[in-house]
Amino acid sequence: MDAIERDVRRFITENFILNGEVIDGAGSLTRNGVLDSMGVLELIMFIEERFGVKVPDEDTVPENLDSVDLIVRYVRVRLGEARV
């Protein structure tokens, strides 16, 4: 697990998980009830503040933000560390 994934997991666990369960990296965060629309706004704020990248409106789609794996991939792409 690299630093980006560790930070994303910690943010979600600390803010949205009550019972200490481990998040499945590929599981949908919205369909599993972890994130609601408010949670997505908070996630965007976290990404922008923690990693210093702007999340434009057109990027706020499930393909970028609906699982830990997708968020990590999105942040890496935005940081220029990976390509889609």
Partner 1 sequence: MSEVARVGFEVLRLADPTEVVESIVTEMRRVVKGFRRRGGVLGLSGGIDSTVVAALAARAFGPEHVLGVLMPEAESSPDTLRLSRLAAEATGIHTVLEDITPTLEALGCYRRRDEAFRKVLPDYAAGWKAKLVLPSVVDSDAFRLFSVVALDPEGREHRARLTADAYREVVAATNFKQRTRKMLEYHHADRLNYAVLGTPNRLEYDQGFFVKNGDGSADVKPIAHLYKSQVYQVAEVLGVPDEIRTRPPTTDTYAMPQSQEEFYFSVPYDHMDLCLHAVDRPLPPEAIAEALDLAPVQVERVFADIAAKRRMARYLHAPPVALEAMETIALAESE
**Considering only 3-11, 40-48, 67-75, 76-84, which stretch makes contact with partner 1 by CB under 8 A?**
40-48
Question: Is residue 50 a contact partner of residue 57, using CB atoms and an 8 Å limit?
Answer: no
Which residues inside 14-33 make contact with partner 1, applying CB under 8 A? 30-31, 33
Nearer to partner 1, 10 or 31 (CB): 31
**Binding pattern to partner 1, positions 54-83, x when CB under 8 A?**
---x--xxxx-x------------------
> Distance (Å, rounded) from C-alpha 55 to C-alpha 17?
24
Closest C-alpha among 2, 11, 77 to residue 50: 11
Which amino acid is located at 19 in the chain?
Answer: N
CA–CA gap between residue 33 and residue 82 (Å, rounded): 29
Residue whose tokens read 């976290």: 46
| Residue of the chain from 7, 11, 25, 40 that contacts partner 1 (CB under 8 A) | 40
Which residue ranges make up the site for partner 1 (CB under 8 A)? 30-31, 33, 36-38, 40-42, 44-45, 57, 60-63, 65
